[in-house]
Amino acid sequence: EFRRVLFRSATAQAETITFRIQSDYQYKMQIAFYSQARNHVCPGPGQAYNIADDSVHEYPLSCRPGESICYGAWPEGNASKVWGVGPDNGNRCSQCCYTCGEGDITPVITLQ
């Protein structure tokens, strides 16, 4: 009984936020999502999701309530131009972060 209660309370802590990303940029893009509250990146350290078309792509991410998640994007193989926090969460931005628990899905974010 005790374990079951602990498990239930732990799962109640998890939330999901879905980033909706569209690229209008002329080259293939890479994107990653960075927690501002803990050392966590999605899809994983040194990895990124690829965007090779202009469709809206959805990225559902597990997060903690109140956690700020920021996107970082750059052209594939070239981080000289960046969107959001860029690769490795290296830049600051005012419009690229969303708070977990304040909406399940972001508006479409267009990279151009």
First to last CA, the chain: 53
What pLDDT is attached to residue 94? Answer: 83
**Could you say which DSSP state residue 8 is in?**
H
Digit-coded pLDDT (tens) for 70-95:
999 999 988 889 999 999 999 999 89
pTM: 0.85
Beta bridge partners of 56: 22
Digit-coded pLDDT (tens) for 8-52:
444 446 799 999 999 999 999 999 999 999 999 999 999 999 999
pLDDT at position 110 over 60: yes
Q: Which residues contact 65 (CB under 8 A, 6 or more apart)?
A: 13, 15, 100, 101
